[in-house]
Amino acid sequence: MDKKKIVGLIQARMGSSRLPEKIFKELNGKKLLGIQLDRLKKSEKLDIFGVITTGSPKDDPIVDFCKENSIDCYRGSEKDVLDRYYQAACKFEADVVVRLCSDCPLIDPYLVDEMIEEFLNYPGGTDYLSNTEPLPTTYPDGMDVTIISFDALSKAWRQADKISEREHVTFYFYNNPDQFKVNKKNLPQDWSSYRFCLDYPEDLILIEKIITELDLRKSFGKMEELVAIVEEKDIKNINSKYQFGGGWGISFEKDQHMKYTKAQKAPALNTSKGSELWEKVTQVIPGGAQTFSKMPYQHVEGVAPKFLLRGRGCKVWDMDGNEFIDSVLGLGAILLGYSYEEVDQAVYETATNYFNSPSLPHPLEYKLAITLNEIIPNSEMVRYAKNGSDVTNAAVRLARFATGRNIIACTGYHGWHEWYIGATQRHAGIPKIIREFTKVFEYNNFQTIEKIFKEHKNDVAAVILEPVNFEPPKDDFLHKVQDLCNKNKTLLIFDEIVTGFRIDLGGAQKYFGVIPDLTCLGKSISNGYPLSVLCGKGEYMRMFKEVFFSGTFGGEITSIAAALKFIDIHKRKNLSKHITTMGEMLRDNINTIIKELEIPYCKAFGYGWWPKFSFESVDNFTSAEILTLFQQELVKRGLLTRSTIFLSLAHHEPHIRQMLQIIKEAMLVVREAVESKRVREFLEGRVIEPVIRDENIKH
């Protein structure tokens, strides 16, 4: 039988309403967390142990402490502790997880080893062994040890729905004895009245007295000795008024709240730190952000955070420690999840062992090129850049040179360069003569593109479009466009900045079987590292020997290494299938909620890999006002999204169910506001505005 990897995970955070920063209280010159870790080092059964804390900046000191003391540390969700344990168990490749708590600084490592031994050799096997839960227990409070097999933890992580079962790792196991082998370890005597945990000031007083006595005795202090000291020194009454599990009631109240069908506005978020910084940032950065879509008016200004501090998986945290499930994902650039270790490691190793940006080409450029040629149907040659706009601009310039023509026909969004943005209302600074060379047609309206060809006979250099977004192609639209381009010797360019790697590893062209002349890729190709790609047929791509397309960082190889690793993971994890399945689950259940709550002015639609929701105007309230109220209630409940939803490999069923619960609660508020005709009264921030007002841009 293979040896199982036993991993001890100590959940810790700085926040505590009863005793703030309790784990950093010092006794005899040592922090209590350090005392606990030193005690656990005596365990002979734990293969590894580490601290699992949250992504909140409030818990940065814990991460720093672990680094200083060479202790493994994982950051995850503050509210969903079950998710934090599961993700950490995956990171440390645990077969068996030993759950420990930082509010048990006097934990007995010999007891830990005894329980591990019993777990591994339990007659008939077991999924779960605890000495405290379910209550009642015979062990002292503060000697809590729970051991869970990884398979059982994974099952609970996938299935647990109640807030109490997500906040408290153990609840789902003993609430479902038909699904798990749940077992309890008891003492022959009842020591449950002894309290060695750390929740209240009185607990700290008792622990200090115990540690002082152990130092005098020069003794380690097993559980039995701790009990003896309490009796000998007659100090049991110091903290005996407190009971095990005193804080659980709050979670049970939240469970009941999930059943509510009455509208309740969520409390406002504390975003004071972010707002304070914003005032300074806008003095030195025009608009406060580098991208229009990241500016505050896209996320209910006055309600939503203005900055994000860090992300992991599908969770992000702002400067004030608010935690969100994120379905904006860096405007779609993150397809694996934030801080994806394999990709980040590939970047680190490339920068450390080779280059970041070399003085001459690097072999990795070739490696990615032949990889793309294998998976993108039209790809025969490849060029690299940094943003999607870079490669759409290069594609248009190449098409004009290849055809000797001027006019570009387009639909959808294609970036900030003059040839495209000049055709929108955001054309400030662009000469009128340039704007006249771009003509816009409607997606799925073949007559509108035919009209452009008739009006500009023999002068249409290229047709560029997103092959699909939320609206599927109808009446063989893509094939008709391709035939029209072939007939007129016009280049067909697919902007697959969004569709690439989402709808399929080979993009929309593979999915629909329509092969363009040129393809633009970007966003998710390197999971957030800056890289875009123009690929296509060799007969056109070779013309870049004459067409000027050049940039210092086009051959920046750390992002290229990220792309290679991303593609490898995409293949291994069947990424497109995953996000499509999650998106369909989300979309279909949103529509179920809409039907159940009778909200006819809202709908969810689109493909599973890129779902969307929208609102219609009602009475004298605009769709933008209703959407703003909806997003206001979403973000206050911990869901950061726009009306277009991006999902990643890190979004799993538990996250989708949490999103749906938040969406239902927000829908209830919207319904109440509309029915009572108080939508504007309910709004707490500025109404969301589109970056570009253009009916042909669907996102």
Instruction: State the DSSP code for 504.
Output: B
Average pLDDT of span 73-85: 95
413-428: average pLDDT: 90
Task: Average the pLDDT over 296-306 and give the result.
Answer: 89
Write out pLDDT tens, residues 657-667: 999 999 999 99
Beta bridge partners of 276: none
pTM of the model: 0.91
- For the stretch 545-603, pLDDT in tens is 999 999 999 999 999 999 999 999 999 999 999 999 999 999 999 999 999 999 999 99
Confidence of residue 292 (pLDDT cuts 50, 70, 90): confident
Quickly state the pLDDT bin for 695 (edges 50, 70, 90).
Answer: low
Q: Determine the distance from the C-alpha atom of residue 567 to the mean position of all C-alpha atoms in its chain, rounded to a whole number.
A: 19
Note the pLDDT tens digit of each residue in 343-357: 999 999 999 999 999
**DSSP class of 182:** E
**Ordered alpha helix ranges (H), 74-180:** 81-91, 109-120, 150-159, 163-167, 171-175
Q: Where in the chain is the domain with CATH 3.90.1150.10?
A: 272-326+576-682
pLDDT of residue 294: 87
Query: Is 460 within 8 Å of 396 (Cβ atoms)?
Result: no
Give the whole-angstrom CA distance, residue 508 versus residue 378: 11
Q: In whole angstroms, what is the distance from residue 22 CA to residue 555 CA?
A: 50
How remote is the C-alpha of 624 from its chain's centroid? 26
Is 437 within 8 Å of 403 (Cβ atoms)?
Answer: no
Those residues whose C-beta lies under 8 Å from the C-beta of residue 675, and which sit 6 or more positions away, are none
The percent of residues in the chain predicted with pLDDT above 70, rounded, is 96
pLDDT above 90 (res 691): no
Q: How far is 531 from 23, CA to CA, in rounded Å?
A: 43
pLDDT tens digits along 141-185: 999 999 999 999 999 999 999 999 999 999 999 999 999 999 999
**Separation CA 553–CA 339 (nearest Å):** 23
- Give the integer Cα–Cα distance in Å for 97 and 112: 12
Alpha-carbon distance 403 to 383, whole Å? 20
The answer to whether 610 and 645 are in contact (CB under 8 A) is yes
Of the two residues 473 and 263, the one the predictor is more confident about is: 473
What confidence score (pLDDT) does residue 156 get?
97
The two counts, helices (H) then strands (E), for the chain are: 26, 22
Which residues are CB-neighbours of 297 under 8 A, at least 6 positions away?
686, 688, 689
Cα(222)–Cα(112) distance, integer angstroms = 11
Closest CA to 205 of 426, 398, 19: 19
Return d(Cα 242, Cα 238) in angstroms, integer: 10
| 3 state SS of 612 | strand
| Residue showing tokens 């291994």 | 572
- pLDDT higher than threshold 80 for residue 249: no
Write a three-state SS string for 576-609.
HHHHHHHHHHHHHHHHHHHHHHCCCCEEEEEECC
Stated as kind and residue range, the H or E segment containing 50 is strand 48-54
Q: How far apart are the first and last CA of the chain?
A: 54
Report pLDDT for 17.
78
In a 13 Å sphere around the CA of 427, the CA atoms on its Cβ side amount to 15
Other beta carbons within 10 angstroms of residue 636's beta carbon come to 22
Whole-number percent of the chain with pLDDT over 90 = 90
Q: Are 182 and 174 in contact (CB under 8 A)?
A: yes
564: its two tokens: 């290679």
- Take residue 98 and report the two structure tokens written for it: 């030993």
Q: Locate CATH 3.40.640.10 in the chain.
A: 341-572
Q: What is the 3-state secondary structure (H, E, C) of 534-586?
A: EEECHHHHHHHHCCCCCCCCCCCHHHHHHHHHHHHHHHHHCHHHHHHHHHHHH
- pLDDT for the residue numbered 298: 85
| The CATH number of the domain covering residues in 341-572 | 3.40.640.10
Q: What is the pLDDT of residues 388-405, one digit of tens each?
A: 999 999 999 999 999 999
Which residues, 6 or more positions from 73, have their beta carbon under 8 angstroms from its beta carbon? Answer: 50, 51, 52, 53, 62, 63, 66, 67
Sign of the dihedral through C-alpha 476, 477, 482, 487: positive
- The two tokens of residue 681 are 């009264």
CATH architecture of the domain with range 6-248: Alpha-Beta Complex (3.90)
Asked whether the predicted pLDDT for residue 106 surpasses 80, the reply is yes
CB-count exposure of residue 279 (10 Å: 0-12, 13-18, 19+): exposed
Query: Cis omega (within 30 of 0) on the bond before 267?
Result: no
Residue 251 — very low, low, confident or very high, per pLDDT cuts 50/70/90? low
Each residue of 322-334: pLDDT tens digit? 999 999 999 999 9
CA distance 230 to 224: 10
Largest CA distance in the chain: 101
Rg (CA), the chain: 29
- The sign of the torsion formed by the CA atoms of 158, 499, 291, 560 equals positive
Count of CB atoms within 10 A of residue 104's CB? Answer: 22
Nearest to 639 by CA among 322, 264, 218: 322
Domain boundaries for CATH 3.90.550.10 within the chain:
6-248
Q: Where does 214-366 show beta strands of DSSP type E? A: 308-312, 315-318, 323-326
According to the model, what pLDDT value does residue 242 have?
A: 85
Amino acid (one-letter) located at 34: G
Please report where in the chains the tokens 């569709």 appear, as a residue.
Answer: 499
Reported as type and span, the H/E element at residue 634 is helix 623-636
CA distances from 66 to 19, 250, 355 (A): 21, 30, 30
Q: How confident is the model at residue 295 (pLDDT cuts 50, 70, 90)?
A: confident
**Measured on CA atoms in the order 365, 367, 373, 376, is the torsion positive or negative?**
negative
Identify the architecture of domain 272-326+576-682 in CATH.
Alpha-Beta Complex (3.90)
> What is the pLDDT at residue 257?
56
Q: What pLDDT digit, counting tens, does each position of 333-346 carry?
A: 999 999 999 999 99
Per-residue pLDDT, 492: 98
Cα–Cα distance for residue pair 172/163, rounded to 1 Å:
10
* Alpha-carbon span 652 to 512, nearest angstrom: 27
CA pair distance 253, 556, nearest whole angstrom: 53
**Which residues touch 379 (CB under 8 Å, ≥6 apart)?**
372, 373, 519, 535, 536
The answer to whether 81 and 40 have CB atoms below 8 angstroms apart is: no
* Mean pLDDT, residues 446-459 taken together: 97
Helix (H) or strand (E) holding 411: strand 407-411
Cα–Cα distance measured from residue 654 to residue 578, given in angstroms and rounded to the nearest whole number: 14
